Amino acid sequence: MVHEGARLLSLATGLPLVIDFRDPWQLTVRLPEAIAHPVWLRLAVRYERRVVQRASLAIVNTDPCRVAMQAVYPDAHDRILTVMNGYDEDPLPPSSPERRFRVAYAGSILLDRSPRTLFRAAAQVVRELRLTPEDFSIEFLGDVVSHDGLTIDLLAEQEGLRGFVRVLPTRHRREALEFLGRASLLVSLPQDTHLAIPSKIFEYLRFDAPILALAEKGSATELVLHETRARVLPPADVLGIANVIAACYKDRCAGRRPSGAVNDDRLSRRVQAQKLFAAIEELVP
């Protein structure tokens, strides 16, 4: 275990220990089946406590995770720091929106990321605006062939979207960015891990297309998007989701161009890295 090895090295040398929790250990919501066992949880508590107690700096990647960790380890309150994943600032492929209004999702669909309410809301828009697959589509890129034992195509058909949903295989990063650049609306599906932010949220912030994130109030996703122009709605709010999709579609038809979700670079990976380096420099004589 890397963290425990680093703790022992810090004890032996007296060097400051900086640890990074990309995901919480004892606060985790979901475990892969292969390791889901009470013994794993007991070991997580034991080793997490050891390294946090020794650490000069403990890094987490969202503010809700920081607050939760500070509640578990009040003695380490001031040594727990949020450094978010952030987005890259390398050049993007030119945006190339097409005639069809494309709702885009990039990434995997895990057990907690159901597209059903998105499909239900989109079907309502399709009926009310009398759209065809030539006018409107929902497109997935990545490991999204099925969810909860049902294929994405079958889920779409059950919700009245037969012919409106496309699933594309995983592609190289450049092609994925081109896929996002063609989008009319970028969507983030819900997750039950409210302490985490899907990495796609940061990728989406780089594009001009509107963002619709399905997330509960108070979740890390909702909080990080609070001061942006992204729309955040509870996953069960079918009417609200439909209203956002319809409004974006009508804006597109009227020629109103979106302006992107952020006005500054505080969520960039560069700025987040500067925050981390500044904290580390304070530990070095």
pLDDT in tens, the chain (285 residues): 789 899 999 999 999 999 998 877 888 877 777 777 888 888 888 999 999 999 999 999 999 999 999 999 999 999 999 999 999 998 888 777 678 999 999 987 765 678 999 999 999 999 999 999 999 999 999 876 555 667 888 889 999 999 999 998 888 888 889 999 999 999 999 887 889 999 899 999 999 899 999 999 999 999 999 889 999 999 999 999 999 999 999 999 988 877 777 778 999 999 999 999 999 999 987
Let me know if the fold of 2-86+268-281 is the same as that of 101-253.
Answer: yes
φ, ψ of residue 65 to 5 degrees: the values are -65, -40
What pLDDT does residue 79 have?
96
Query: Topology of domain 2-86+268-281, per CATH?
Result: Rossmann fold (3.40.50)
Of the candidates 99, 93, 92, 179, the one whose C-alpha atom is nearest the C-alpha of residue 139 is 179
112 within 8 A of 191, measured Cβ to Cβ? yes
Per-domain residue ranges of the chain: 2-86+268-281, 101-253
Per-residue tokens: 153: 């195509």
Model confidence, pTM: 0.89
Q: Which helix (H) or strand (E) holds 181?
A: helix 173-181
Of the candidates 249, 248, 238, 261, the one whose C-alpha atom is nearest the C-alpha of residue 115 is 238
What pLDDT does residue 185 have?
95
What pLDDT does residue 149 have?
65
Query: Topology of domain 101-253, per CATH?
Result: Rossmann fold (3.40.50)
